């Protein structure tokens, strides 16, 4: 297998953190988004949607989309489990990961893509007003998470999961989107500090 990766993009980082939590190393091919390598003919043959990450299997088949790649890895190497151990836990993890993707990760990436000068070539048209609409949406969900994290240590309950990986990557990417979280989100801050202290967060 080999992983088509982009070092500074949030979605590939989700896969790298997931692999690090599993203690796995997969050969990587770096795709430089700043130099528009994702639009090259070579990478377009890997993923016609021109997005990273992509995982090329030994069979030659290509898997794309971060969570799909992580699910495949989980099936091959189930320990430590990051998607839940039984039907209810897996459903709970899926629920929270989807909530985080839609209500937190997506608004932060929209704010970045529609405001950062370096994205002007990739996001056409850039709509500054759309960036501003999404910033309070991300902050509102951070406050929602703060309330939930008063009841449990991690996003989906008692264990660190893919939902925490998605949320951590989004929270870290907020700096690039020029979103600052209020100081009164104590539970959110506690969770973020603990997730950031895990060795996998450096991936």
Q: How many CA atoms lie within 13 A of 160 on its CB side?
A: 17
Give 2-76's CATH code, choosing from 3.30.70.1350, 1.25.40.20, 3.40.30.10, 3.10.129.10: 3.40.30.10
In the chain, residues under CATH classification 1.20.1050.10 are 87-202
Q: How many CA atoms lie within 13 A of 42 on its CB side?
A: 7
In the chain, residues under CATH classification 3.40.30.10 are 2-76
Model pLDDT, residue 116? 81
**Using one digit for the tens of pLDDT, what is the confidence trace for 15-30?**
999 999 999 999 999 9
State the Cα–Cα distance between residues 38 and 43, nearest whole angstrom.
6
State the Cα–Cα distance between residues 47 and 50, nearest whole angstrom.
5
> Residues of the chain whose pLDDT is less than 50?
none
SS (H, E, C) the chain: CEEEECCCCHHHHHHHHHHHHHCCCCCEEECCCCCCHHHCHHHHHHCCCCCCCEEECCCCCEEECHHHHHHHHHHHCCCCCCCCCCHHHHHHHHHHHHHHHHHHHHHHHHHHHCCCHHHCCCCCCCCHHHHHHHHHHHHHHHHHHHHHCCCCCECCECCCCHHHHHHHHHHHHCCCCCCCCCCCCHHHHHHHHHHHCCHHHHC
**Using one digit for the tens of pLDDT, what is the confidence trace for 181-192?**
999 999 999 999
Q: Bridge partners of 3?
A: 28, 55
**Cα first-last separation, the chain:** 18
Model pLDDT, residue 119? 84
Model pLDDT, residue 148? 98
Model pLDDT, residue 176? 93
CATH fold of 87-202 reads Glutathione S-transferase Yfyf (Class Pi); Chain A, domain 2 (1.20.1050)
Model pLDDT, residue 90? 98
């Amino acid at each position: 297998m080999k992983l088509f990766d982009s070092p500074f993009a949030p979605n590939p980082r989700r896969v790298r953190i997931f692999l690090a939590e599993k203690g796995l190393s997969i050969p990587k091919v770096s795709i430089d988004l700043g130099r528009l390598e994702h639009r090259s003919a070579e990478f377009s043959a890997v993923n016609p949607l021109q997005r990273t990450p992509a995982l090329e299997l030994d069979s030659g088949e290509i898997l794309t989309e971060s969570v799909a790649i992580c699910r495949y890895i989980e099936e091959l190497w189930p320990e430590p489990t990051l998607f839940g151990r039984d039907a209810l836990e897996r459903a709970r993890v899926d629920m929270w990961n989807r909530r985080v993707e839609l209500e937190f990760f997506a608004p932060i990436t929209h704010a970045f893509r529609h405001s950062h000068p370096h994205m002007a070539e990739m996001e056409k048209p850039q709509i500054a007003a759309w960036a501003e609409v999404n910033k309070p949406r991300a902050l509102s969900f951070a406050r929602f998470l703060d309330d939930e994290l008063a009841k449990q240590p991690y996003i989906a309950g008692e264990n660190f999961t893919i939902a925490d990986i998605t949320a951590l990557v989004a929270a870290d990417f907020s700096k690039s989107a020029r979103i600052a979280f209020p100081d009164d989100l104590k539970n959110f801050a506690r969770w973020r500090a603990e997730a950031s202290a895990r060795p996998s967060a450096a991936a």
